[in-house]
Structure 1
Amino acid sequence: MPVSAPEDVFPGVSRETRNRLQVYADLLRKWQPAINLVGPRTLPHLWTRHFADSAQLHPLVPPGARTLVDFGSGAGFPGLVLAILGVPEVHLIESDQRKAAFLREVARATGATATIHAVRIEQVEPFPADVVTARALAPLANLLGFAAPFLAPGSICLFPKGQQAEDEVSIAAKTWNITVDRIQSVTDSSASILRVSEVSRA
């Protein structure tokens, strides 16, 4: 049976945070008919497929991290969820103007500390980020190309990946020097989160 409430997925967070996530979910369902924010078949499983899948990155964000950049944010997963969960400064990069408008509305309605950049990734003037995220955007090698200008010493990347994760790591290792930790997804037994650090061109 589809999970339909934030308390079922986020039992450990405050009621205020759950309420903000509920506002987010309500807005997504309201905007979905006009903008294809998520796959229609995933809507009945919104809380597990998108919110919980995004939230599992939160414990992987280093305790001292302040700035997070999320590439190709789309409907805001995972970046906007991480902002609501407390990452101090989140930047969402989304070139689709209608999706960027949705992100602005959710950030306004939830009070999330998120800055929306409604341009292509390459058009954003790079700045140091503690964490870089991206979900279902591009193969790992391409993501590292996007991320490299934003990475400072000690920065990490958190990239949820599916069954092709190992193939992507092998291909990326041909052009990048990277340290990769593989963390099992808690929402999909065939998926993992790649925690990538010490990134430099090979």
Structure 2
Amino acid sequence: MREFLVNGLKEIGVEYTEKKVDNLLKYLTLLQEYNSHTNLTAVRDEKSMIEKHFLDSLLLQNLLDDSMKTAIDVGTGAGFPGMVLAIFNENIKFTLMDSIGKKTKFLQLVKDELNLENVEVVTSRAEDYISDEKRESYDLGLCRGVSKLSTILEYIIPFLKKDGVFLSQKMEGTGEETEAQNALEILNSEIIKIFNFELPFCKDPRVVIKIEKREKTDKKYPRRSGIPLKRPL
């Protein structure tokens, strides 16, 4: 699997070290073992896990910059993209959040096994976790989610500092960026650029929407649990 992974990294133009590759392969082993008894991902083939989870996450790598010191991944699941990016960016402190305990238990295992001092694992919903301490405290927001962009924005943007960046990973052709205009205005944010990528081997298309926060967010956002999903902005 090492050769397949390294070839994939080269195809998407991501620099790597042997230690980072080793850690990804350990992560892969842990994911396969855990997934055999606890359902974390429907993807079970080794090569597909590498391409559709690891390499997919690393499509963001070249969009990061030196100003990013703190990051939050909301609804991280089995750690995508946050855990993968944490392995490749030891200088960034990552908060990996998910509301499902079996997933955060796995993330804690990965953190411990790989000795990732730059990772904090949180079992919570975004609207419950946010506080005066956490509000507007992150440079980077991440979410590789299935919820609509207008909903995800309400979860992510309140955590970001002014001028913070949200990199939203979506499938191709959803048109969600148009639907999200009202949410962007309410949350004082705007789409800066839309990147179109493809996975290196299966060629599946991927879209990354880069969003910047322009001003502070009204403290009434995010609304209480369940409301952003039922009534998107």
- 1:150 matched to 2:154? The reply is no
Does residue 1:159 correspond to 2:163, yes or no? no
Comparing 56-65 and 180-189, the one that deviates more? 180-189
1:173 matched to 2:169? The reply is no
How does the TM-score come out when normalised to structure 2?
0.78
Q: Pick from 44, 47, 58: which aligns with 2:61? A: 58
Aligned length: 200
| Cα shift at 1:176 | 2.1
1:106 to 107, 110, 128: 110
Q: CA deviation at 1:42?
A: 5.6
Letter in 1 for 2:126: I
What CA distance in whole angstroms lies between the structure 2 residues aligned with 1:42 and 1:144? 32
Work out the percentage of aligned pairs sharing the same amino acid. 22
Q: Which residue of 1 aligns with 2:145?
A: 136
Contact 1:68/1:132 (CA < 8 Å) preserved in 2? yes
Partner of 2:88: 85
CA contact (8 A) 2:130 2:159 kept: no
Change (3 A) 1:147 1:109: same
Letter in 2 for 1:116: V
Amino acid at match of 2:211: V
Structure with higher Rg: it is 2
Q: How does 1:1-150 map to 2 (within 5 A)?
A: 5-11=4-10, 12-40=15-43, 43-86=46-89, 87-112=91-116, 113-126=118-131, 127=134, 128-150=137-159
Query: 2:192 and 2:39 mapped to 1: Cα distance?
Result: 33
1:50 is displaced (CA, Å) by 0.7
CA deviation string 1:4-31 (max 9, x = no partner): 7432333531111111111100000000
Once residues 111 and 3 of structure 1 are traced to their aligned partners in structure 2, the CA distance between those partners, rounded to angstroms, is 21
Which consecutive unaligned segments of at least 5 residues does structure 1 have? Answer: none
